[in-house]
Amino acid sequence: MFTVQSIQKIVDEDIALTPEMLSRIETWNSMLQGRAEWCERDEYVASLKLEQGICREFADVALNEMEVSISNDKLNEIFMSAIEDLNENLQDGIGLGSFIIKPLGGKTVEYITADKFIPIHFDGSGKPDDCLFLQVKPAGDKYYIRAERHRIRSGSLTITNRAFESNSATEFGYEIELSKVPGWEKLQSEVTYPGMDKMDFGYYRNPIKNKIDNTPCGVSIYDSAINLIRKADIQGARLDWEFESGERIIHVDERALRHDLRNQGRGDVELPPLNKRLYRGLNVQEAADKELYKEYSPEFRDQNIINGLEKYYRQIEFSVGLAYGDLSDTQYVEKTATEIRTAKSRKYNRVTAIQKKLQECLEDLVAALAFYNGLYTSGYEFHCKFNDSILTDEENERQQDRQDVSMGAMSLWEYRKKWYGEDDKTAKAAIQTPAEVIE
C-alpha cells in the first residue's frame, strides 16, 4: 500500500486515513489471506483460517433471505445484476472493516475493499464525501498509477483523474498525461456534476466503534480477537505436532540390521523390507540376549490440546459476536439454555447492526446506479427487508421439541433441562408436580 505521506502529497491536504489505521488494515488483510505475522514468522504455525470462517458466517447470516426490490423495472434489473457477487465481497468488507460498491457504467460495478481506497474526508454521518481510488497497471519494469478522486462540494460531484509513472507499485513517481497510458486516454482529467448531494457509490462500514485512531474508518469484525486468533493458530500447530511427534517408531539395535557386505568400508546397512519410516537404527550396546527391537509409542495428549483449542474458539465467538457452536464444538462445554439464548441474541444484535449498515450502502448504490443510467429523478422506491432467522430458528426448534414431548419422543425432564437450564436432578423432580404445563 502507499504511505499516508505520499497520498497527502498528491492530494495536497491532510487525509482521514492515518498511519495507524493503514497499518491495521494491512494486518487484517494478511490475516484474511492466511499470512498473519505469527504464521510468517514460524513456518510450523499454519493459519486455521478462522478469519475467513468468521466473515463467511456473518455474511451468510446477514444476507440470508434478504429481500430487495426497486419499483423501477429497468433500475431493478441493473441493481440485481450489480449485487450478484455481494456475498463474497461482503465477506472481505467485514474482514477489512469497510468496502465500496462503485458503478462503472451500465450494470457493471466494482467492489473496492478498504485496502484499495483512501478516505480523504468524512461527512457528519460517517460516510466519505471525498475519496481517492488508486489503480496500478504494470508495464514491463515500470508501473502506471491512476488516482481517481471523487468529492462532494457545494451540491456538486467532482471527479478528477491523474496519472503517474513509477518504478514501484507502491510509489507515485512523477505525473504524466492520461493519454500516454493505453486504456486511460479517453478519461477526462476533471468533470463536475451539479445537483448531486451524495457520493456516486455505496459505502459499507462495520458497526464497530473505531478505537484505533477514533476516525470514522471501518474496523475489522475480528480486530478485538486478533490475540485470541493467534493463540488458536499456535494451539492448532501444537495439535499437529502432537500427532506428528507421537507416531510409532521402532528402535532397532544394529544387530537386527543387515549390513551391505559390498560396502563394509562405509558401514552401510540395509533395513528390513518393511515400512522404512517405522524403523530407526540404535546402537544399544547391551548384552546379546537383550531385545533387538524396542517400540516407541508414546501416549497422545491430544484431548487436552483440543480442549484448550475449543476454549479459544469460544472466547473468539464471544469477542466477535458469534453464537456458541459457530466455531466451537458444543459437545466440549456444558451450556445452559439461558447462555445459549444469550449467545444467539448477541449474534442477532451484531447481524442486525451489519444489516442496517448494509441497507444504507445498498440505498446509496441504487442512487448511484440511477445517476449513471439517467434514472436519478425517476421517482423510484427502494425496498429492503431482512428476516430474523437466528431467533426464529430457535423458536421453531422449541416448538419441535414440544411436539416431541407430546408424542413421547422426548421426555419432559429433558425438555426442562434444555430450555429451562435445569440439571438432571432438578428437572426430574419438577415433573413430579401435578398439572405440569409446557410454556
**Cα 439 to Cα 420: distance, rounded to the nearest angstrom:** 10
Cα R_g (the chain), whole angstroms: 31
Instruction: Look at residue 142 in the predicted model and tell me its pLDDT.
Output: 94
CB atoms within 10 A of CB 29: 20
The answer to the question of residue 255 being in a domain is yes
What is the helix (H) or strand (E) element at residue 416, kind and residue range? helix 412-420
Show the cell assigned to 26. Answer: 494491512
Return the DSSP state at 402. Answer: H
**Cα 240 to Cα 232: distance, rounded to the nearest angstrom:** 12
- Over the chain (439 residues), what is each successive 10-residue block's mean pLDDT? 89 93 96 95 93 96 91 94 95 97 90 94 94 93 95 93 94 93 93 90 96 95 97 94 72 56 54 48 51 58 87 95 89 66 86 95 95 84 82 68 86 83 81 57
Domains in the chain, number: 3
* Domain shared by 255 and 206, yes or no: no
Burial 129-138 (b: 16+ CB within 10 A, else e): bbbbbbeeee
The answer to the question of residue 284 being in a domain is yes
Q: Give the CA diameter of the chain.
A: 99
The answer to the question of residue 305 being in a domain is no
What is the helix (H) or strand (E) element at residue 241, kind and residue range? helix 226-245
Cα–Cα–Cα angle for 318, 324, 329, nearest 5°?
Answer: 125
Show the cell assigned to 378. Answer: 425517476
Instruction: Look at residue 276 in the predicted model and tell me its pLDDT.
Output: 46
The answer to the question of residue 437 being in a domain is yes
* Domain shared by 73 and 126, yes or no: yes
CB atoms within 10 A of CB 180: 11
* Domain shared by 9 and 115, yes or no: yes
Instruction: Look at residue 295 in the predicted model and tell me its pLDDT.
Output: 56
* Domain shared by 88 and 190, yes or no: yes
* Domain shared by 173 and 125, yes or no: yes
Show the cell assigned to 145. Answer: 498509477
* Domain shared by 374 and 399, yes or no: no
**Cα 85 to Cα 104: distance, rounded to the nearest angstrom:** 15
- Contact present, 352 and 321 (Cβ < 8 Å): no
**Cα 358 to Cα 83: distance, rounded to the nearest angstrom:** 12
- Contact present, 85 and 109 (Cβ < 8 Å): no
Q: Which of 94, 57, 29 is nearest to 361 (CA)?
A: 94
The answer to the question of residue 99 being in a domain is yes
* Domain shared by 109 and 156, yes or no: yes
**Cα 313 to Cα 331: distance, rounded to the nearest angstrom:** 13
Could you list the residue range(s) of the whole structural domain that residue 394 is in? Answer: 388-439
* Domain shared by 103 and 141, yes or no: yes
The answer to the question of residue 55 being in a domain is yes
* Domain shared by 44 and 57, yes or no: yes
* Domain shared by 206 and 262, yes or no: no
* Domain shared by 150 and 281, yes or no: no
Instruction: Look at residue 432 in the predicted model and tell me its pLDDT.
Output: 74
* Domain shared by 85 and 59, yes or no: yes
The answer to the question of residue 41 being in a domain is yes
The answer to the question of residue 203 being in a domain is yes
